[in-house]
DNA sequence: CATATTAATCGCAATAATACGATTAAAAGT
DNA sequence: ACTTTTAATCGTATTATTGCGATTAATATG
């Protein structure tokens, strides 16, 4: 086995896990932090900034783009990447709703 | 290769990724949702509720506990699990701080 | 004390994710 | 046209994760 049993979980559970997966690698955190800091940059800047090989950065960018967190605009031989702010808000709000659940803070558990 | 290069990232980046990893599997989302819903329950309840084998649930519980999101209290042959509310708040607040970063919503990117 | 209950751990098989060299593709510059 | 620049893709090696059967450990019960 080793295969996640997607079919036994709710759609929400699978979606939350998929969003979380994007944040579950320091390289993608670093990419997002840099994009937020400089507003927009090209792939090569991220390679220099982060210190992973170009194909590796490209692969992480692909995943972030696949889930809609970022977008890339071709400009000659370069591709300019930035946060997709609308999609970011959608995804992140869904995730924050989960994190913000009421924990019955008064009640003791075990 | 295939090894995440932890050493090239900041402590914050690695920590955020580690927290996110906990939420990056639907089984762990389901476990946390159930614990939040019923306040506390034993391992066997989660096995029945979620439909994965007992060793699999036990493994997920171990990871959640390792990072401090939940705690387990032995009670005879059973172990009662619940959200560790203090730790949950610590971890989740750190993560929300990242998600809530200012995106310069007015500014256009590319 | 024998047995049942409950959960952890071991060991393994299978899939997923990470990383990068080599190559390709596409546009820009000379 | 040739070369350079830039990023995507391919192929592959390696590590990580997931899942579970079998077993173990620990307590409870008859």
> Where residue A24 sits, what CATH number does that domain have?
1.10.10.10
Per residue in B64-89, pLDDT (tens digit) is: 999 999 999 999 999 999 999 999 99
Q: Is residue B5 part of a domain?
A: no
Q: Is residue A67 part of a domain?
A: yes
- At residue B17, what are phi and psi to the nearest 5 degrees? -65, -40
3-state helix, strand, coil in chain B (%, to 5): 60, 15, 30
Contact A64, A83 (CB under 8 A): no
The answer to whether B26 CB is within 7 Å of strand C is no
The mean of the pLDDT values for chain B is: 93
Q: Is residue B109 part of a domain?
A: no
Per residue in A34-71, pLDDT (tens digit) is: 999 999 999 999 999 999 999 999 999 999 999 999 99
- At residue A106, what are phi and psi to the nearest 5 degrees? -70, -40
Q: Is residue A110 part of a domain?
A: no
Q: Is residue A51 part of a domain?
A: yes
Nearest-neighbour CA in chain A from B42: distance (Å): 10
Q: Tell if the CB–CB gap between A24 and B24 is shorter than 8 Å.
A: yes
The mean of the pLDDT values for chain A is: 93
The stretch B93-102 carries a mean pLDDT of: 91
User: For residue A106, what pLDDT band results from cuts at 50, 70 and 90?
Assistant: low
Q: Tell if the CB–CB gap between A99 and B104 is shorter than 8 Å.
A: no
- In the block, residue with structure tokens 């709703």: A97
Which bases of chain D are under 7 A from a protein CB atom? 5-11, 13-22, 25-28
Nearest-neighbour CA in chain B from A41: distance (Å): 9
CA distances, A76 to each of A42, A46, A57, A73 (Å): 11, 18, 19, 10
pLDDT number for residue A4: 76
Cα B25 from Cα A18, distance rounded (Å): 8
Q: Considering only CB atoms, which chain B residues are within 8 Å of A4?
A: 25-27
User: What total of structural domains would you count in chain B?
Assistant: 1
Q: Whole-number Å distance, CA B59 to C1' C3?
A: 27
Nearest-neighbour CA in chain A from B61: distance (Å): 15
Q: Is residue B102 part of a domain?
A: no
Domain holding A54, by residue range, is 12-93
Which bases of chain C are under 7 A from a protein CB atom? 4-11, 13-22, 25-29
pLDDT number for residue A79: 98
Q: Which residues contact B68 (CB under 8 A, 6 or more apart)?
A: B84, B87, B90, B91
CA distances, B110 to each of A29, A90, A92, B4 (Å): 20, 20, 21, 30
Per residue in B13-67, pLDDT (tens digit) is: 999 999 999 999 999 999 999 999 999 999 999 999 999 999 999 999 999 999 9
Q: Is residue B10 part of a domain?
A: no
Q: Is residue A107 part of a domain?
A: no
Structure tokens at A110: 């075990």
């Amino acid at each position: 086995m080793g295969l996640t049993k997607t079919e036994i979980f709710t759609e929400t559970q699978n979606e939350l896990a998929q969003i979380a997966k994007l944040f579950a690698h320091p390289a993608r955190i670093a990419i997002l932090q840099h994009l937020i800091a400089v507003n927009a940059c090209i792939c090569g800047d991220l390679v220099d900034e982060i210190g992973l090989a170009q194909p590796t950065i490209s692969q992480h960018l692909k995943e972030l783009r696949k889930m809609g967190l970022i977008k890339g605009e071709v400009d000659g031989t370069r591709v300019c990447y930035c946060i997709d702010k609308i999609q970011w808000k959608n995804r992140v709000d869904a995730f924050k709703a989960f994190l913000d659940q009421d924990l019955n803070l008064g009640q003791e558990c075990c």
